[in-house]
């Protein structure tokens, strides 16, 4: 949940993981606060964080994971230049459309909004723009599943 954590801290944490385990790390980012107001306050985050500033937070985070810009004053160490793949997570059309616009992979949280799954995937696919990250849409779906040997056991 990107609104809960400073982009620099995320870049350094995932940069560390990528440095330890090259090519095995993905970063999934959600826009929801993922907590109640008291928890948000304890984390010193604005209650509106992520609602209006998610694209800016995402852009800042990406700047810490790509190759350093010569004018860049703050660098993530480790993190800078690791190019950790970023997935946008969501259960609405917002993240689907933003992932499509930026050419990023998209993971839909169908456990929260199963009735919106097909619409979100349609929005993502229909609006996808190729990028340096992807040349075609790439999506994943999270589903709650109960498995057992038979219906009675399940």
pLDDT at 96: 97
Contact 99, 134 (CB under 8 A): no
pLDDT in tens, 1-37: 888 889 999 999 999 999 999 999 999 999 887 667 7
pLDDT at 47: 60
Q: Which two tokens stand for residue 103?
A: 């050419």
Residues 33, 50: Cα–Cα separation, whole Å: 7
Ordered by start, the domain boundaries in the chain are 1-84, 85-154
Residues 74, 30: Cα–Cα separation, whole Å: 24
Instruction: Say whether 141 sits in a helix, a strand or coil.
Output: strand
pTM across the whole model:
0.87
Could you tell me the maximum CA-CA distance found in the chain, to the nearest angstrom? 63
Residues 58, 63: Cα–Cα separation, whole Å: 9
């Amino acid at each position: 949940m990107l609104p809960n954590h400073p982009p620099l801290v995320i870049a350094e944490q995932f940069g560390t993981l990528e440095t330890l385990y090259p090519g095995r790390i993905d970063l999934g980012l959600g826009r929801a606060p993922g907590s109640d107001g008291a928890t948000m306050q304890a984390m010193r985050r604005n209650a509106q964080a992520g609602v209006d500033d998610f694209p800016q937070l995402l852009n800042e985070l990406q700047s810490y994971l790509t190759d350093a810009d010569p004018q860049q004053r703050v660098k993530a160490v480790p993190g800078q230049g690791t190019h950790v793949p970023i997935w946008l997570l969501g259960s609405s059309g917002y993240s689907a459309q933003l992932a499509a616009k930026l050419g990023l992979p998209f993971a839909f949280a169908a456990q929260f909004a199963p009735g919106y799954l097909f619409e979100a995937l349609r929005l993502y696919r229909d609006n996808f723009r190729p990028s340096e990250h992807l040349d075609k849409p790439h999506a994943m779906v999270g589903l709650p599943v109960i498995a057992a040997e038979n219906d009675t056991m399940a």
